Structure formats: C-alpha cells, structure tokens
C-alpha cells in the first residue's frame, strides 16, 4: 500500500476548515494502518503522520482531527507499537481532548510507560490531574513511573501527595517520590524533603541525599551562592558517600567568587584524600592571573599520584606557565610523573620544550620514557620546534642521533636535508643508513645529482641498500618516467669502480627506462663477474613490464642455469604487473617463458601467472600440460580458473578440455566447478 502524504498536505491549506481538511478517508486510513503497525513493518503510515505533525506546527485548528485520529489508535486492539507511536505524537500536539484516552493507558501495566512518555511533555496542564488521579489505583512499578512523570512536569500541586508516598511500603515508589520532590524543587518541596530527612529513615538515606544535592544545584542555578554553598558543604563532610562528597565539592568550587582557588589550596595542603583529586582537577578552570605559577610551586609537595593529576590539570590550562611547570617535571625521579609530563608536552609543548624532551630521548639506554619522549617530539607543533629538534640532533651522540633523525623524518623536516647529506658519510653505519633513509623521504629531485654522486662514491656494502633506496625514491619523484634514470646513467658511465656500478645497477632496475635497460643488458657481458651478477639481479628485479621480451631473450642466451632461472622468474613476475602491452604480445611472452622453463618449479610459476591474469588464448598454452604427470594437477586448476574468469573466450576449446581437467582435478570442489562450467558452456 502506498499513501500519498504530499497529496494530503497539498489539500490542507485549501480546505475551509480543519474538519473538512483532515476528515478525509485518507487520514482515517492512515490511523488504521498505524493501529496495525508492528516493528519492522511498513513505515509509510508513520511517516505520513510525522509529515502532518510538522506541516501543522503553527496551525492548532488543523491539528484537531489529527489528534482525534491518533487518540483513536490508543483504543481497542491496536498494537503496542502503534500505541507507542501515537503517544509520542500526542506528547507534541495533544490537548485536553486526548487525556481520557491517555488516562485509559495509565490504568494498564503494559501501557503505563508509553502513556507517561506522552504525558511527560504534554502541553495541557490538566495532564497533572490525570496523573495524580491514576496514582490512587496504581501500585509498584506503574506507580513509580507516574510519580517520575509528575516530577518531570514539576507539578507543584503534587508535593503533599508525594510526601505521603515517600512512606510507601514499596522502596521503588518511596524513592521515586523523594526524587520527584527534588525535581519540583520549590519551597514547599524543599520543606517536605527537609521534614522527611528528619524522620531518619535508613532505607531512604541515599534518596534524600541525592535529592538534597539536586536542590542545592537548583539553588546555585538561581545565583544564590551563599545558600548553595551552605547546602553543598553539608555533603562534603566525611560521613557522606565518596561520590557525593566529590560531586558536592566540585559544585562548591563553582559557587566561590574566586573559582574555588582558596578551597583548592586548602584541600591540596590538607589530608583529605577523597577531595584532593577534585581540588587538583579544579585548577584547570581557574581564571586568576599567575595561577599556573602558583600551583606549579605546589607540585613538589604532592605525592607522585597527585603530581600526575596536577600535571594533567596544568596541561588542560595550556598557558606558558603550565608549559614551564610541566617541562620541569620531565626529569622527575618518579617514572610515572616523568611519563605524564612527557606525554603532556606532546600536545602542549613548543620549541622551548625540545631540550628537556631531547635529553630524555637521547639517553644511552632506550626505555619506555625515551619512546614517549620521541613520540612527543614528533607531535610538537611549528617550524620552530623542528629547528630545535634539528639542533638537538646535531649535538646528540651517534646512537641517539639516529632516534632524532627518525623524528625529523616523521615531522617531514625538509630543512634537515643538508644535515642528513652530511651524516650520510658518517663513520657509524647506523647513522649513515638513517641519513640515507631520511634523504629518500625528504629530498627533492633537484638534490638527486648529489645523492647519485654519494652512491657512486660509496664503498660501504652495509649501507648500500639504504643509499640505493634513497636514490630510487627521489628519482621516482621526477614527473617524466623516461627521465628518472638519467642522473644514475651519467654516474654509471663515468665510474669504473665495480662496487659503485653494482649499486647503481640496482637503482637502474627500480627507475627503468629504455637506456637503463640497454646499460643493464650490456653489463651482463662485462669482464667483471661481480658486475655481470649484479646486472643479472637487476634485470630479474626490473620494474618496467615493457622490458619483458628483451629480458626473456637474455634468459634464452644466459650462460649458466642460475642466471637463466633468475631472469626467467623476473620475467614471470613482470608479466603479472599492470601495463598497457597488447595481450597477444603478453601471451607470446608467456609461451616463451614456458618454453624456456626447464624445471617444474618455473613451469608452475608460468601456469599460476596465466591463471591469475587469464588472457584469450591462455587455454592453448596450458592445455598440453594436462598430459604432463608432474604438472597436470596445476594445469587442471588453472584451466578451471581461466574458463571461469572469461567463459566467452576460447569457448570451443574450453568445452573440449574441461572434462579432462575435471577428471584430473583432485579437489572435489574443483571437479564440481569444472562440471558446472561445462554445463553453462553447452
């Protein structure tokens, strides 16, 4: 069923009266559908009502028939969900006319809750009378719900009745009555609570305390600080429960003209462990000048637990005085206090915090504190902080310098590049390697010549990988892919040093390009065995798929089995990389790779690659392998995957070889899949 809500809304303004507008069959139908609504059912009737409630917001006369329709839902055998929805909307638009229907819900345990839902915000003041009348006949939970609703409505006429119900035998009812009196909170309600407290009923002690505290909050809201303070002080006494003492003390601080500064100091100097944390938390919101400096002087007098809390309060203040106070605690002998200060500075600190943090971060022995200090150094905001960290790195001993270089890298501190270039030649291999890692992340293409020269002059195998990685990372930032290997090639051709050439061949493999490929292929014929081996490894790791045919040719003419296998595996990897080569050329390369493969291991790699990236014509390459005992299981699996990925390609050939593949397949699931594919192809 589709209800045309907007059609109804369009008619409303055109009708002469509300009755003629909404007494249409559509409205009655909507109400009937709401009455049958179950959770999970068609929401359209509910949406229709919601639309009408919104559309008639400023039209009280137009809401009368809508209210009548909703009230009708509350009667008879309507579903609980339908009644609840009607109550929700009557709470918005209901008038005295709907009160009898809602009162009827108050009379039944299963619906008293939804009736109170409507009456809690009911516009008509007569709702209070309906609720009071219902109290006479309701018991237990239903009575407590009605009492709560009277409290929410702050019905002053219910004070005497509620005071009497505070003696109800049902504890839930009695406690609800006390809470409702506190919500009402006028002079008679306060007097009633005071009188009831004097009766000293142990079962209601907690309820009276909560009620009195609520009343104190109400007094504070009126601006009567003195009266509120008197009320709060009663609950700060040691005889009161801990949670109430703390809540009352926090409220008491808010009533003080000085924001509670004197009370906070008194509590900090006192011995009351319950109130001291609340006092320290209050430091965060104090407004007077010099507050941070004043309370910083108190830190030394606190035990470690309270020192940690004070650091948190200072961090929340976030001013210069707080920053200085926290910085001074970074070297605290207590690890928990030092940790709190270090972590706080991550969010609060600035360049002035760097020396203290760097001192911890560069300690000889790494620890949880050094890790926290490094994390906070990374979080500091601003260029000035980066410059301060760079200055600290220059002064740090080698083993600690590496840590600060990591911070500079994490902060993307590009002004550190000259320093990193200098450190790349450091005698400590860890420092040099860290410098190259930083250069790879932070350098720009204009700095590539300097990096390539460093790689060309490198004679330290232990950092060759990091140096080569830096060159490659920066070269890849050159927009034109064809130019990325230019600088490396220039240096490669200039040097005769075998170590340098080997390193640069690795960089050429990552930056690729036609000229780079020429150089690597030529290097496989070099007189130096180390260079020949490096060239073979470079070709095996080549990054440009378009080089596959030439590397395959080199594999075909490789002088030894090891080189042949390395080059062949590299080509199989390249064939699986994304690229724009024509599919027929790629298929030819797969066929060549399979021909060159002399061991089952490489043949399986070709089969797996064809299965992963099926091409038209792939079946013709894989099908003959069904007759190879060592490879037929792999071939059968690949054939099923190839056909499944592209059933339209090589359809007739697929129909011819799928039965054989199914017969060979050892996995029952593969056998079923092959059979199902064959059925679809036929």
> Pick from 384, 306, 401, 318: which is nearest to 350 by CA?
384
Q: Give, in order, the Cα–Cα distances in Å from 73 to each of 61, 272, 493.
A: 20, 59, 91
* Cβ atoms of 476 and 511 closer than 8 Å: yes
Cα dihedral sign, 91-94-99-101:
negative
Residue 155 DSSP class: -
Q: Give the global pTM.
A: 0.67
Q: Tokens 């501190």 correspond to what residue?
A: 413
Contact partners, residue 202, CB within 8 Å, separation at least 6: none
Rounded Cα–Cα distance for residues 148 and 133 (Å):
14
Who's near 631: CB < 8 A, 6+ residues apart?
A: 600, 603, 604, 607, 625
Residues of the chain with pLDDT under 50: 1-25
pLDDT given for residue 404 in this prediction: 96
- Three-state DSSP at 9 gives helix
Residue-wise DSSP of 434-489: HHHHHHHHH--GGGHHHHHHHHHT---GGGHHHHHHHHHHHHTTSS-GGGTTHHHH
216 neighbors 245 (Cβ within 8 angstroms): no
Judge residue 543's burial from the number of C-beta atoms within 10 Å of its C-beta, 0-12 exposed, 13-18 middle, 19 or more buried: middle
Q: Scan for tokens 């679809």, then name that residue.
A: 680
Q: Please tell me the predicted confidence (pLDDT) of residue 308.
A: 97
Q: What is the CA radius of gyration of the chain?
A: 41
Do 65 and 30 form a contact (C-beta atoms < 8 A)? no
Question: Phi and psi at residue 565, in whole multiples of 5°?
Answer: -65, -45
Angle at 439 between CA 435 and CA 440, to 5 degrees: 120
Cβ 213 vs Cβ 244: under 8 Å: yes
- Pairwise CA distance, residues 87 & 91, whole Å: 6
The confidence score (pLDDT) of residue 8 equals 44
User: How do the residues of the chain divide into helix, strand and coil, expressed in percent and rounded to 5?
Assistant: 75, 0, 25
Say how many Å lie between the first and final Cα of the chain, rounded: 44
**Dihedral in degrees, nearest 10, Cα atoms 102, 106, 111, 112:** 120
Answer for the pair 449, 487: CB distance below 8 angstroms, yes or no.
yes
The CA distance from 171 to 57, in Å, is 42
CA distance 396 to 368: 19
Which position has the token pair 């009348």? Answer: 133
Given the structure tokens 């909507």, which residue do they identify?
30
CB 214 within 8 A of CB 228: no
Residue 310 CA, chain-centre distance (Å), reads: 29
Question: Is the Cβ–Cβ distance between 173 and 165 less than 8 Å?
Answer: yes
Distance CA 313, CA 253 (A): 15
Q: Tell me phi and psi for residue 558, to 5 degrees.
A: -60, 140
Q: Are 608 and 621 in contact (CB under 8 A)?
A: no
pLDDT digits (tens, 9 = 90+) for 381-394: 999 999 999 999 99
Would you give the DSSP letter of residue 112? Answer: H
What's the rounded Cα separation, in Å, for the pair 461 and 478?
27
Yes or no: say if 564 and 596 are a contact pair by the CB < 8 Å rule: yes
| Displacement of CA 399 from its chain's centroid (Å) | 35
Residues 6 or more apart in contact with residue 349 via CB below 8 angstroms: 323, 326, 327, 357, 376, 380, 385
Q: Are 454 and 425 in contact (CB under 8 A)?
A: yes
Residues 503, 461: contact at Cβ < 8 Å?
no
The predicted pLDDT at position 649 comes to 82
Contact present, 335 and 369 (Cβ < 8 Å):
yes
Sign of torsion over alpha carbons 587, 589, 590, 594: positive
């Amino acid at each position: 069923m589709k209800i045309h809500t907007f059609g109804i809304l369009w008619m409303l303004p055109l009708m002469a009266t509300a009755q003629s507008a909404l007494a249409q069959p559509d409205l009655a139908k909507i109400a009937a559908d709401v009455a049958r609504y179950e959770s999970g059912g068609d929401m359209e009737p509910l949406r229709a009502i919601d639309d009408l409630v919104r559309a008639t917001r400023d039209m009280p006369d137009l809401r009368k028939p809508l209210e009548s329709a909703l009230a009708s839902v509350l009667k008879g055998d309507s579903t609980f969900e339908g009644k609840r929805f009607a109550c929700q909307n009557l709470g918005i638009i209901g008038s005295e006319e709907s009160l009898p229907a809602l009162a009827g819900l108050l009379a039944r345990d299963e619906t008293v809750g939804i009736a109170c839902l409507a009456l809690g915000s009911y516009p008509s003041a007569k709702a209070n009378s309906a609720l009071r009348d219902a109290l006479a006949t309701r018991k237990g939970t239903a009575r407590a719900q009605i009492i709560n609703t009277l409290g929410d409505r702050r019905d002053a006429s219910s004070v005497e009745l509620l005071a009497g119900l505070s003696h109800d035998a049902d504890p839930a009812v009695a406690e609800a009555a006390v809470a409702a009196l506190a919500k009402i909170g006028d002079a008679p309600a306060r007097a009633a609570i005071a009188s009831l407290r004097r009766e000293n009923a142990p079962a209601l002690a907690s309820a009276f305390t909560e009620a009195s505290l609520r009343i104190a909050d109400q007094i504070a809201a009126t601006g009567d600080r003195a009266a509120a303070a008197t009320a709060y002080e009663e609950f700060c006494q040691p005889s009161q429960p801990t949670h109430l003492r703390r809540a009352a003390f926090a409220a008491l601080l808010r009533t003080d003209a000085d924001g509670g500064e004197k009370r906070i100091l008194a509590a900090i100097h006192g011995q009351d462990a319950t109130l001291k944390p609340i006092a320290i938390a209050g430091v965060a919101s104090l407004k007077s000048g010099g507050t941070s400096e004043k309370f910083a002087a108190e830190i030394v007098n606190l035990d470690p637990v309270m020192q940690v809390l004070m650091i948190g309060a200072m961090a929340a203040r976030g001013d210069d005085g707080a920053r200085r106070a926290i910085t001074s605690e970074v070297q605290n002998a207590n690890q928990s206090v030092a940790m709190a200060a270090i972590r706080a500075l991550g969010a609060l600190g600035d360049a002035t915090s760097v020396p203290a943090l760097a001192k911890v971060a560069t300690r000889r022995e790494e620890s949880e504190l050094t890790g926290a200090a490094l994390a906070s150094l990374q979080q500091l905001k601003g260029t000035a902080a980066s410059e301060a960290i760079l200055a600290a790195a220059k002064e740090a001993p080698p083993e600690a310098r590496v840590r600060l270089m990591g911070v500079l890298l994490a902060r993307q501190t590009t002004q550190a590049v000259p320093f990193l270039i200098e450190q790349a030649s450091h005698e400590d291999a860890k420092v040099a390697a860290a410098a190259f890692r930083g250069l790879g992340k932070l350098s720009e293409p204009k700095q590539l010549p300097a990096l390539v020269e460093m790689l060309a002059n490198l004679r330290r195998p232990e950092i060759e990988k990091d140096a080569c990685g830096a060159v490659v990372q920066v070269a890849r930032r050159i927009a034109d892919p064809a130019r990325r290997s230019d600088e490396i090639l220039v240096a490669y051709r200039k040097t005769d040093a075998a170590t340098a050439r080997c390193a640069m061949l690795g960089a050429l493999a990552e930056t690729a390009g036609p000229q780079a490929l020429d150089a690597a292929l030529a290097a496989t014929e070099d007189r130096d065995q180390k260079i020949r081996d490096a060239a073979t490894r470079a070709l095996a790791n080549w990054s440009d798929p378009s080089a596959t045919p030439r590397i395959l040719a080199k594999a075909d003419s490789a002088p030894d089995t090891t080189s042949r296998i390395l080059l062949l595996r590299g080509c199989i990897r390249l064939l699986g990389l994304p690229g724009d080569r024509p599919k027929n050329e790629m298929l030819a390369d797969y066929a060549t790779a399979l021909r060159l493969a002399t061991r089952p291991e490489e043949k399986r790699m070709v089969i797996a690659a064809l299965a992963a990236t099926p091409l038209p014509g792939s079946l013709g390459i894989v099908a003959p392998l069904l007759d190879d005992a060592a490879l037929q299981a792999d071939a059968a699996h690949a054939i099923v995957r190839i056909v499944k990925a592209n059933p339209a390609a090589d359809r007739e050939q697929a129909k011819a070889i799928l039965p054989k593949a199914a017969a060979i397949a050892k996995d029952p699931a593969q056998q079923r899949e092959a059979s199902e594919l064959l059925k679809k192809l036929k």
